[in-house]
Amino acid sequence: MRIQPVILAGGTGTRLWPLSRELYPKQLLCLTGEQTLLQTTLTRISLLPGLLPPLIVVGEEHRFLTKNQVDELMLFPDCRLLLEPLGKDTAPAVCGAAIFARQQAQENLLLLVLPADHLIARPDDFVRAVAKAQEQAEQGWLTTFGIVPDRPETGYGYIRRAADGKVESFVEKPDLVTAQRYLAEGGWLWNSGMFAFPADKLLAEFRLHAPEILRCMEIAVEKGRSDGAFFRFDEAAMQQSPAKSVDYALMEKTACAAAVEADFGWSDIGSWSSLHEVAAKDGRGNVVSGDVLLEDVENCLIRSEDTLVAAVGLRDTLVVETADAVLIAPLSRSQDIKKIVNKLKAKGRPEFRSHRTVHRPWGSYTTLELHDRFQIKRITVSPGARLSSQMHHHRHEHWVVVRGTAKVEKSGEQFLLREDESTYIPLGTVHRLENPGVIPLELIEIQIGSYLGEDDIVRFDDVYGRRA
């Protein structure tokens, strides 16, 4: 039975704010090395034998960043990205991936379902655990990876595993006393959210225990459409699907649940305190990243993304600085950061959704100044890339090239701009920007108008398939 990896990459990781944002979630971040968590996951599965090109389930807004990170690795040129038009938790995502994979392969497959944002310190032990799970799954078991606990943990769900490997029960996140009892008793494992499923058996169990999810996702795949490496689930069909996790929809109900004991240095990096536990530390227990100066600091996580951070006399403290936000909290309260994110959402503030630098399929833009009737951006266009043909109803734009060469289309006219040359785009003018060169194009854009939102874009043509 060939292995079909299914990588779940649709989360936002709000507990790692302000580094992780809705438009730049934690699986796309470099937290423990030079690779992002997604790239680390793909590198890890490349060690497995008999592997089909991965299927990555990802949200529409993250598709280009995800595709770029896959391409950078050059490990899976035939990787497909399954696009979710909206988040419906993991059960519809896994079900849709299973239906899609089954139709493509025309054979029973072993689905290896992995979150994109987990850390595994010992990849060789991971490969051995997958082999054990494959043995169970090929006997018809829906197999989960249970992590051998090394401490009483209240942030994870637990699995009670029988001697024969069958799952006796799933338990939601316990209180501390219960977690301590589980650790003392033995036989309890952390629920990792990683699975090995025979595709045909999985779909049969969906039909038995979650038929509405199966029905909706069958339609979502049937009416979905391909766009190069992307496949879009049909939005109307997926909208009708119940939103449930795989555990709740299926694993807690099926009589075919089994677990393998997995001890490979696992962490879901679900909070800043989790990152502090697994990351490399200095001699005083500090995890430091970026431009940071310390004096008499112990057991802290301090991260600078944009400017110098200096700390004196701190203990057990979290400090994370980005261009538009600074977070300070006791490490022990890092789980409560999601409350701050919820407040940002409720107030309609942009800091929960994006950084000042926003990535686009053609490059990126950084907001340098933002005021009521004008803003200034730095726009970077990758070599050979071009923006959509577009117009704006409420703003004028001035472009000044500071590096590279720009090809500009404006009201049907085409011309080149080089360094220190500029052009003016009046309100209502159809225009387009392209980088015909071999180095990144950088320009300063000054927007002036009554409304400066990103939704004031009317697209006429777009090479990336974005909606008008």
Domain count of the fold of the chain? 3
Q: How far apart, in whole angstroms, are the C-alpha atoms of residue 204 and residue 216?
A: 15
Does 303 share its domain with 378? no
Looking at the fold, whether 303 and 440 belong to one and the same domain comes out as no
Burial of 75 (0-12, 13-18, 19+ CB in 10 A): middle
Q: Is residue 348 part of a domain?
A: no
| C-alpha closest to that of 341 among 357, 332, 354, 359 | 354
Same domain, 329 and 405: no
CA distance 88 to 85: 9
Same domain, 105 and 13: yes
Order across the sheet with 431-434: list the strands: 413-417, 406-410, 431-434, 389-391, 458-461
Look at residues 267, 295, 328 and tell me which one is the last residue of a structural domain: 267
Q: Tell me whether residue 287 is in a domain.
A: yes
87: in domain:
yes
- Are residue 191 and residue 296 in the same domain, yes or no? no
Map residue 252 onto helix, strand or coil.
coil
Q: In what order do the strands lie in the sheet with 374-381?
A: 357-360, 363-370, 374-381, 441-449, 395-403, 422-425
Q: Which of 311, 338, 365 is the last residue of a domain?
A: 338
pTM higher than the cut 0.85 = yes
Domain of 446, in residue numbers: 357-461
Residue 463 CA to residue 467 CA, distance in Å, equals 11
Contact between 100 and 93 (Cβ < 8 Å):
no
Same domain for 171 and 253, yes or no, is: yes
> Do residue 202 and residue 79 come from a single domain?
yes
What is the rounded CA–CA span in Å between residue 342 and residue 151? Answer: 30
Among 267, 290, 320, the domain-final residue is 267
Q: For residues 10 and 415, what is the distance between their CA atoms, to the nearest angstrom?
A: 41
pLDDT tens-digit profile, the chain (468 residues):
899 999 999 877 678 999 999 888 899 999 988 899 999 999 999 999 989 999 999 998 888 899 999 999 999 999 999 999 988 999 999 999 999 999 988 788 999 999 999 999 999 999 999 999 999 998 999 999 999 888 888 888 899 988 888 888 888 888 889 989 988 888 889 999 999 999 999 999 999 999 999 999 999 999 999 988 999 999 999 999 999 999 999 999 999 999 999 999 998 888 899 999 999 999 999 999 999 999 999 999 999 999 999 999 999 999 999 999 999 999 999 989 999 999 999 999 989 888 899 889 999 999 999 898 999 999 999 999 999 999 999 999 999 999 999 999 999 999 999 999 999 999 999 999 999 999 999 999 999 999 998 889 999 988 887 765
The number of beta carbons lying within 10 Å of the beta carbon of residue 98 is 27
Q: What is the CATH number of the domain that holds 145?
A: 3.90.550.10
Would you give the DSSP letter of residue 149? P
Q: Are residues 17 and 117 in the same domain?
A: yes
Before 18, cis peptide (omega within 30)?
A: yes
Do 52 and 168 belong together in one domain? yes
Residues 299 and 406 in one domain: no
181 and 249: one domain? yes
Beta strands in 126-203 (DSSP E): 142-147, 158-161, 167-171, 188-198
Same-domain check for residues 85 and 202: yes
Is residue 115 within 8 Å of 38, Cβ to Cβ? no
Q: Look at residue 60 and tell me if it is in a domain.
A: yes
First to last CA, the chain: 43
Domain at 399, CATH number? 2.60.120.10
- Report if residue 242 sits inside a domain: yes
Domain-embedded: residue 440: yes
**DSSP state letter for 187:** -
Whether 349 maps to a domain, the answer reads: no
Q: Please check whether residue 90 lies inside any domain of the structure.
A: yes
